[in-house]
Structure 1
Amino acid sequence: MHVRHVPSTSTPAPADAVTGSAWITSLAVPEGASRTRVDRVQFAPGARTRWHRHPLGQVLVVTEGTGYVQRHGGPAQLIRPGDTVRVDAGEWHWHGATDTTSMTHLAIEELPADGTPTELGDPVGDAEAAAVPAATRTLVLEQPLPAPRVIDHFEARRITIAPHHSPGLHVHNGPVFGSIETGSAVYAIEGEPESVLTPGDVFYEPESTRIARFDAQEDGVTFLAWFPAGPGETPQLIPLDN
């Protein structure tokens, strides 16, 4: 085992592979029997790859910003932090930032033993780029409440939990809706399976339900939480003894 620190500099993406400005930071290169390459690719707003395909496919993991990916014959799809895209071997596709936001992703690729390179196609045409929707609306959570409730105000809070910290076993005096912004946390309602929440994930905590875990991982966690409340009610987290 050895640790290779992330380079402090990046290199411009080849002009024949990308339209617009993009930068590549090499994170891992093939060594020994491994043929895996990992790059961090940062796209400026409006930058995108040409149509291209990889002999053995590719995995993209979005880490920052917002972008699009499209396979030949399919619609362009919006991608956000936490999203993972698996591109099949030989599948023509392109990916890049939206016109108004930058986008960074990890590109993970297995290189063929015979050295077959990535094949480049045409630039993304004006008609194809125009097909990218200017606005998208995605339903991320639809949650019926167990009983009618009088609501006369909402509180929205941005909450940060430091790495390896947790509020412990607790309940809330009203329903809570949340969306992870950065970092990750192990989440579990008492008596139910655990899951790991990462950026873009949403969650719902019913009123008075015992929350067994909301444990920040090594990168900490920041999330937005919405608290619907009734007249004169102040949303509260109530710690419980284990």
Structure 2
Amino acid sequence: MHVRPAPPTSTAAPASAITGSAWVTSLAVPDGPSRTQVDRVQFAPGARTRWHRHPLGQVLVVTDGTGYVQRRGGPAQLVRPGDTVRVAAGEWHWHGATDTSPMTHLAIEEIPADGTPTEIGDPVAGAEPAPATPAPVTRTLVLEQRLPAPRLVDLVEIRRITIAPGHGSGLHVHNGPVFGSVEAGSAVYEIEGEPASVLRPGDVFYEPEAARIARFDAQDDGVTFIAHFPVGPGETPRLDLLDS
């Protein structure tokens, strides 16, 4: 048994396979007799794969957001968190986000022993069957975080924060928990002593009360996020900078 820490970074999906912006995080690669590959793929709104097919098929598990899947000759189908899609071996298909929301899924497939690659076809054309109309109301749980101890809260501040490209917040702590979601751009986020991760649009984060936040550093595209600061009676949300 081998436990692999959560990968700290993702890579941009190649333009030869994706229309729009998407990021891939490798979670498992073929090792020894096992030929299983697992990737997490995050699609920005409007991003989708080209038509493609896998020699041995593929399983998709939607974990966040809303998207579409379609096999050649069939209708586009709306998919939401918890949905599982099984793609048959050699079946032409595409998948991606809706135009208005991001979508994240796990992609699980067996890699042929002879190395036969996935075959990439044409971009999805406008003449393809129109995707199904999304439901008028959707509700997606993006973060459920239990606090380490009960806390009396009588004030919640919600702030939109923008950090310029290449800048960061510095080593700091908050006097209460912080819950946030990234709207645009990207940032490297790290709680001191834990692996760093890259936050992108649609990602959420939690900063525990009094935890030392080592990094919240905007990347080259800067970052804008919404942060929720709940505090108790007589308190004001506060960020205290620390010596690095």
TM-score normalised by structure 1 residue count: 0.57
C-alpha contact (below 8 Å) 1:181/1:200 kept by paired residues: yes
Q: CA deviation at 1:124?
A: 2.9
Q: Which residue identity is paired with 1:124?
A: P
- Distance in 2 (alpha carbons) for counterparts of 1:223 and 1:123: 35
Q: Which runs of 5+ in 2 are unaligned?
A: 1-13, 22-45, 56-64, 82-86, 103-117
SS of match in other structure, 1:193:
coil
Q: CA deviation at 1:111?
A: 7.5
1:160–1:96 distance in 2 versus 1, CA, 3 Å? closer
Q: Name the structure 1 match of 2:68.
A: 69
Write out per-residue CA displacement over residues 45-83 of structure 1, whole angstroms, 9 at most, x where no aligned residue: xx9x9xx943679xxxxxxxx97312348951269xxxx
Q: Name the structure 2 match of 1:129.
A: 132
2:92 is equivalent to residue 91 of structure 1: yes
Q: Name the structure 2 match of 1:167.
A: 169
Q: Which runs of 5+ in 1 are unaligned?
A: 1-26, 29-35, 42-46, 58-65, 80-86, 104-109
1:39–1:193 distance in 2 versus 1, CA, 3 Å? closer
Q: CA deviation at 1:226?
A: 0.1
Q: CA deviation at 1:140?
A: 0.9
Q: Which residue identity is paired with 2:178?
A: V
Measured on the aligned residues, the alpha-carbon RMSD in Å equals 4.0
Q: Name the structure 2 match of 1:24.
A: none
Q: Name the structure 2 match of 1:158.
A: 160
SS of match in other structure, 2:132:
helix
1:56–1:228 distance in 2 versus 1, CA, 3 Å? same
Q: Name the structure 1 match of 2:183.
A: 181
C-alpha contact (below 8 Å) 1:162/1:220 kept by paired residues: yes
The structure 1 residue matched to 2:52, chosen from 51, 54, 65, is 54
- Distance in 2 (alpha carbons) for counterparts of 1:135 and 1:165: 37
C-alpha contact (below 8 Å) 2:162/2:223 kept by paired residues: yes
1:38–1:70 distance in 2 versus 1, CA, 3 Å? closer
SS of match in other structure, 1:129:
coil
1:203–1:89 distance in 2 versus 1, CA, 3 Å? farther
C-alpha contact (below 8 Å) 1:186/1:216 kept by paired residues: yes
C-alpha contact (below 8 Å) 1:179/1:223 kept by paired residues: yes
Q: Which residue identity is paired with 1:54?
A: H
C-alpha contact (below 8 Å) 1:175/1:206 kept by paired residues: yes
C-alpha contact (below 8 Å) 1:174/1:207 kept by paired residues: yes
SS of match in other structure, 1:124:
coil
Q: CA deviation at 1:90?
A: 3.6
1:225–1:231 distance in 2 versus 1, CA, 3 Å? same
Q: Which residue identity is paired with 2:132?
A: A
SS of match in other structure, 1:203:
strand
Write out per-residue CA displacement over residues 166-205 of structure 1, whole angstroms, 9 at most, x where no aligned residue: 1111000000000011111111101001111111110000
- Distance in 2 (alpha carbons) for counterparts of 1:119 and 1:208: 48
1:89–1:221 distance in 2 versus 1, CA, 3 Å? farther
- Distance in 1 (alpha carbons) for counterparts of 2:158 and 2:124: 48
Mark the structure with the bigger radius of gyration: 1
TM-score normalised by structure 2 residue count: 0.57
- Distance in 2 (alpha carbons) for counterparts of 1:187 and 1:55: 35
1:144–1:53 distance in 2 versus 1, CA, 3 Å? same
